[in-house]
C-alpha cells in the first residue's frame, strides 16, 4: 500500500512539475514572487530556525539587518526552487546561456595530466545546477546522492540530474564506487556543508561563529585516491544568471596534514557566505548537535 501511495503521488505530481518546467523564465520568476509572499508572510516556513541560525552566526548584526538577510534568503530560496523545476526540461543551450564557467581550462589541465578531481561546493546559490559542469569539462563526473523514501520520485530526480552526463550513486556506496574508479579521468562532486549524522561525527570546527560538526569523508577519499581538490564557487550575476569559478585548494592531498583539507574548504565557504549570506541554505538545522554535550 505504501508503494502504491508513493507511485500515485509521484504520477500526480509529475505533470504539474513538467507543466511548470516548460514555462518561460519570466513567468517562472513571477511564480517565484508569489511563493515568496506565501512562504515569507503567510506560511513562515522555518522562520525561527532561519532567524536563529543567522543571529548566532552574525551576533554583531542588528535585529533589523538579520531580518533583512532573512527576507532576502526567502527570495533566493523560491528562485532556486523554481529553477530546479526548470531543470526538468531546460536545454543544454539555455544552461550555457545562463551559466558562465570562467575557467574550465583548470580541469582540462588536470585531465591532460591524468589527474582525477575532488570537486567541493556548498549549498550556496543554485547548487543543483552544479551538475551542468559536465558540459564544460572532459572528466567523467560522479556525484553522491541521498536516497528519497519515495523510490518513484527518486528515480525521476536521478534521471533529471544525470541529463547532462553526470553519474550519481547512493551515499552508502561512496567508498565502494570511488575506490574502484582509480583512473585519472574522474571528477567527484561533494556538497559537504550539511550536518553529519550524530553517530558519524568525527570532527568539529568553528564555522560561522559556532562549534560545528562536519563531514571529513571528502578529505579522506581525496587522500586515498590522490585526487586534486578543487572548490567551486557559484555566484549570481543577476536573476537567473550565474557565474562559476573553480579554485584549486590542493594538488597533492596526500601531503596535507590531518583535517587541513576540511579546514580550508570551510574557511573558503565561510568567506563566501559572509559576503552575501542570503544565498546560503539557512533553513537547514545545521547546529542541532552541541559539542559540550555530544562529546562527553
Domain residues for the domain of 143 are: 2-294
pLDDT at 118 over 70: yes
Give the pLDDT band (50/70/90) at residue 296: very low
Alpha helical stretches, state H, 162-283 = 174-180, 217-225, 260-275
Q: What is the rounded radius of gyration, in angstroms, for the C-alpha atoms of the chain?
A: 20
Higher confidence at residue 20 or residue 120? 120
Higher confidence at residue 223 or residue 199? 223
CB 101 within 8 A of CB 136: yes
What is the number of structural domains in the chain? 1
pLDDT (0 to 100) of residue 11: 62
Average pLDDT over residues 168-183: 77
CB 122 within 8 A of CB 149: no
Q: Report the alpha-carbon distance of residue 176 to residue 225 in Å, rounded.
A: 12
DSSP string, 22-75: TS-HHHHHHHHHHHHHIIIIII-TTHHHHHHHHHHH-TTS-HHHHHHHHHHHHH
pLDDT at 152 over 80: no
Average pLDDT over residues 15-26: 88
Q: Report the alpha-carbon distance of residue 50 to residue 270 in Å, rounded.
A: 17
CATH code, domain carrying 75: 3.40.1130
Q: Please state the φ and ψ torsions of residue 265, each to the nearest 5 degrees.
A: -55, -50
pLDDT (0 to 100) of residue 292: 67
pLDDT at 112 over 90: yes
Average pLDDT over residues 121-135: 89
The whole-model pTM stands at 0.91
Amino acid at each position: 500500500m505504501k508503494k502504491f501511495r508513493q507511485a500515485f503521488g509521484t504520477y500526480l505530481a509529475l505533470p504539474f512539475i513538467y507543466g511548470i518546467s516548460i514555462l518561460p523564465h519570466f513567468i517562472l520568476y513571477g511564480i517565484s514572487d508569489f511563493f515568496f509572499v506565501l512562504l515569507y508572510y503567510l506560511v513562515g516556513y522555518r522562520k525561527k530556525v532561519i532567524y536563529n541560525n543567522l543571529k548566532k552566526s552574525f551576533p554583531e548584526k542588528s535585529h533589523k539587518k538579520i531580518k533583512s538577510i532573512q527576507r532576502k534568503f526567502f527570495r533566493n530560496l523560491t528562485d532556486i526552487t523554481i529553477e530546479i523545476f526548470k531543470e526538468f526540461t531546460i536545454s543544454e543551450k539555455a544552461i550555457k546561456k545562463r551559466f558562465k564557467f570562467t575557467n574550465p581550462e583548470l580541469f582540462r589541465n588536470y585531465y591532460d595530466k591524468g589527474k582525477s578531481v575532488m570537486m567541493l561546493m556548498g549549498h550556496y546559490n543554485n547548487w543543483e545546477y552544479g551538475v551542468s559542469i559536465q558540459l564544460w569539462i572532459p572528466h567523467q563526473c560522479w556525484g553522491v546522492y541521498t536516497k528519497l523514501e519515495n523510490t518513484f520520485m527518486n528515480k525521476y530526480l536521478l534521471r533529471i540530474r544525470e541529463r547532462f552526463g553526470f553519474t550519481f550513486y547512493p551515499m552508502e556506496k561512496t567508498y565502494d564506487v570511488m575506490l574502484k574508479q582509480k583512473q585519472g579521468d574522474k571528477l567527484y562532486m561533494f556538497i559537504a556543508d550539511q550536518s553529519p549524522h550524530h553517530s558519524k561525527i568525527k570532527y568539529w570546527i568553528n564555522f560561522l561563529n559556532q562549534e560545528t560538526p562536519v563531514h571529513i569523508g571528502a578529505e579522506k577519499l581525496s587522500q586515498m585516491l590522490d585526487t586534486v581538490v578543487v572548490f567551486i564557487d557559484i555566484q549570481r550575476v543577476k536573476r537567473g544568471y550565474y557565474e562559476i569559478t573553480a579554485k584549486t585548494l590542493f594538488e597533492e592531498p596526500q601531503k596535507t596534514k590531518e583535517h587541513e583539507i576540511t579546514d580550508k574548504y570551510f574557511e573558503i565557504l565561510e568567506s563566501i557566505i559572509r559576503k552575501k549570506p542570503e544565498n546560503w541554505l539557512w533553513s537547514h538545522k545545521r547546529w542541532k548537535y552541541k559539542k559540550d554535550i555530544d562529546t562527553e
